[in-house]
Copies of this chain bind each other. A is one copy, B any other.
Amino acid sequence: MGCVQSFRDLCDREKNTNVRISLPAVCFVWQIAMIILFGVFIRYNEESSPFWIEHRKANNISSDIENDFYFRYPSFQDVHVMIFVGFGFLMTFLKRYSFGGVGFNFLIAAFGLQWALLMQGWFHSLDYSDGKIKIGVENLINADFCVAGCLIAYGAVLGKVSPVQLMVLTLFGITLFAVEEYIILNLIHARDAGGSMVIHTFGGYYGLSISWMLYRPNLSQSNRLQGSVYHSDVFAMIGTLFLWMFWPSFNSAITDHGDGQHRAAINTYLALASTVLTTVAISSLFQKHGKLDMVHIQNSTLAGGVAVGTAAEFMLMPYGSLIVGFCCGIISTLGYIYITPFMEKHLKIQDTCGIHNLHAMPGVIGGVVGAITAAAASEAVYGHEGLINTFDFEDAFKNMTPTRQGGHQAAGLCVAICFGVGGGIIVGCILRLPIWGDPADDNCFDDEPYWEVRDKKKQKKQDSHYHGIHWNFT
């Protein structure tokens, strides 16, 4: 730890939050790079190009409605809402960091999805005949998924980093994600429909490791801006509800056509319903007077959706989904009550949004549930063709058995954790360099350094006259 500490001291120089050169530079350079790379690599696939009509006839497809667009576009839009409104508004809960929560979320998601289309395209959609990536609606969904990993990581460092740092975090995060995803899904041949491992476990540990590297010892818990006010909690509920409602679409968006999407949606719907009740129960039980805490309602109610991600398309059974949700509501809420303060105090991990409780832990649970469910699969439950379809026991994996598949699932989970922790530490080191314009401790959780806040001057004048009510003007 000594070397880490001295590196920290080296980096902890005076803070200058002026990003007037660096932020535009990063945005322009990266966007121009995207245009060039898209020009070289990205084309429409046969379902989104005008040759679709000829493709349709050649493949004897009877109707335009069988274009993948109609199978996946409604789910895509739901996922899109989760990424931008769901994650964005979930992060508006701080009393004076709502612009940063929803605004930077917007920025890094918009950048991340372009880079994700390229990275994932190279691994999954490259047409070797002409060296081009052929994209369709499924690529858009996967790009949104990929971005989700980085937005989760943002949750851990919310209010403590500059937009330039976030762009760097996203660039590396997407890159790591695409590699990790390729290893887990293609090389290891694990299944992960809703991304419990690939998205949530990776994103969670990636963010936590970065937050550990960026530890601010003097950022007191009593920082006057850390916390919510009444209506910022209501704003955050917009995020919570859109995430909660559309999670069935998230977990079913890229599963198999037909029963795969159908079943994934049902399982997720049930797991989430169950989570709400146990979250409320634990939240009430562990507070004086049985009062509910908005932090738990906003976050832990979503844990069931995370934990059911991997197994959503499997025969988890309706009661199995309820059980998963039941456990996750309890664990996640207890996490907010006990683990988050523990991590801050003893592990030097400051986790603003509690992503450990909402994504990392439930993601690991989801991976384990997926492994168990896969290992328990049988032809009696799935049918002969159903088993092959659900687990993709085809081509190189023709001879796979469910038991071995369970092992592969577990291996996938380990890869996700390793990439998250390892990648996070490396990227965290990079982000400590004193060149990114991050805020001083006093400016954390404040929109002031990076946003024009119009009622600013009046607020100061106000403060000088009526001390003690500045919290009111948010």
Which residues of A approach B to under 8 Å, CB–CB? 17-24, 27-28, 30-32, 34-36, 38-39, 42-44, 47-54, 56, 62-71, 73-75, 77-78, 80-81, 84-85, 88-89, 92, 96, 98-99, 102-103, 106-107, 110-111, 113-114, 135-137, 140, 163, 227-235, 237-238, 241-242, 244-246, 248-249, 257-259, 261-263, 265-266, 269-270, 272-278, 280-282, 284-285, 287-294, 297, 301, 315, 317-319, 322-323, 326, 381-383, 385-387, 389-390, 449-455, 458, 461-462, 466, 468-469, 471-474
Contact = CB atoms under 8 A, between A and B. Distances in A.
Contact of A258 (B24, B44, B53): B53
A322 B292 contact: no
Contacts of A84: 241, 244-245
A71 B77 contact: no
A31 B474 contact: no
Contact of A290 (B21, B31, B62, B137): B21
20 contacts: A24-B282, A24-B290, A31-B277, A44-B266, A47-B262, A48-B262, A50-B390, A52-B262, A63-B66, A73-B265, A81-B245, A96-B230, A98-B230, A99-B294, A106-B241, A114-B270, A114-B274, A292-B450, A462-B469, A472-B473
Tell me what chain A mostly uses at the interface: helix, strand, loop, or mixed: helix
Contacts of A62: 62-63
Quickly give the copy total for this chain.
3
A449 B215 CA distance: 37
Given A80-B245, A472-B472, A20 B453 contact: no
Given A50-B382, A266-B44, A266-B136, A322 B38 contact: yes
A387 B53 CA distance: 11
